[in-house]
Amino acid sequence: IKHFSIIAEHLLPGEEVFMTFIGLHNYQSMTKHDSNFAYAITNKRIIMAQKQTIAGEKLQTVYLDNVNDITFSSGLALGVMTIDTIKETFNVGLDKKSAKAINAKAVELLHSLKDNESEAAPAADAPAQQAVSAADEILKFKQLLDAGVITQEEFNAKKAQLLGL
């Protein structure tokens, strides 16, 4: 619980936690790792935190845009989930009984969050596309004005309509 309290303290406004788990951070072997860390996958990032025994804390975050892949391997005693990012790789040692389930859920969640993010991106571009098409329409009507097909008043009225004035 002490490790998770650090995550709770460092959540950003509007950040939602979708998954949490405990694992051996920077796992290399049963005797070589950075001990237990709490992990949280949110709608924005992966947070890794450890409350240290005497004083202080360790906190690392990786924004979802920087996650390349998550892979899994299984050994005799533990399963290892590898989080590959743009800058570094994190090996998380997990108890063998739940390692596959934690990895599968993390992969599913990250793909879901990235899919939602990519679906939201075209919606953000929609106003720009409307502005471009309105500008194109105004240019067309300007050509009609220059050719004498429509009057200045008709051009001004259509321009105001397209610009929402």
Phi, psi dihedrals of residue 103, rounded to the nearest 5°: -60, -50
Is the full-model pTM beyond 0.75?
A: no
96-155 pLDDT, tens digit each: 888 889 989 988 988 888 777 666 655 555 554 444 567 777 777 777 777 777 788 888
Residue 133's identity, in one-letter code, is S
DSSP-assigned letter for residue 145: H
51-77 pLDDT, tens digit each: 987 778 999 999 998 999 999 998 888
143 Cβ contact partners less than 8 Å away, ≥ 6 residues apart = none
